Amino acid sequence: MLQLLVQAGKRISPAHEAFVLSHYIGNPDGIRCSLAEDDDGSVLGFQSLVLARDGNRYGTPIGWGIIGTHVSPLAARRGVGRQLFEVTELAAAAAGLEKIEAFIGEKNAEGQAYYEKMGFVTYRLAEGAVCKCYEVG
């Protein structure tokens, strides 16, 4: 699924198993990594929520959540991202987070539109990226 996103020009980070395990599933700072799958078990997408530590690579304030959303190009615009965020928001509240940051490529119009629809608001710009913040609760 991530490799399809790379082929579609929608992902620049690595898409191999070791990267997924270390960054999303087995990340020691991970709060929740939610998977969306079809009735036949095919992966439609996933969303990760990680606690921002000092020196994190996004420059996210310490103690905030960092969110990442990845939906298969074959399942886009069917509400997968929306359902994933419903679960992530609950996980953020249960973990006591007050804010979540999304770090989105400045040219990624659909990513920006998605997070805006979920209630994220732009609060800073980084090199090549727009950073949007969501207030939990």
Ligand X SMILES: CC(C)(COP(=O)(O)OP(=O)(O)OC[C@H]1O[C@@H](n2cnc3c(N)ncnc32)[C@H](O)[C@@H]1OP(=O)(O)O)[C@@H](O)C(=O)NCCC(=O)NCCS
Nearer Cβ to ligand X (51/88): 88
Q: How many Cα neighbours within 13 Å face the side chain of 14?
A: 9
CB of 102 to ligand X, least distance (A): 6
Nearer Cβ to ligand X (46/97): 46
CB of 77 to ligand X, least distance (A): 4
Order of strands across the sheet with 65-71? 30-37, 43-51, 65-71, 99-105, 129-135, 121-126
Other C-beta atoms closer than 10 Å to the C-beta of 44 total 20
Nearer Cβ to ligand X (13/96): 13
- Can you give the binding site for ligand X, defined by CB under 6 A? 5, 10, 69-71, 76-82, 104, 108, 110-111, 113-114, 117
CB of 29 to ligand X, least distance (A): 18
How far is 19 from 25, CA to CA, in rounded Å? 9
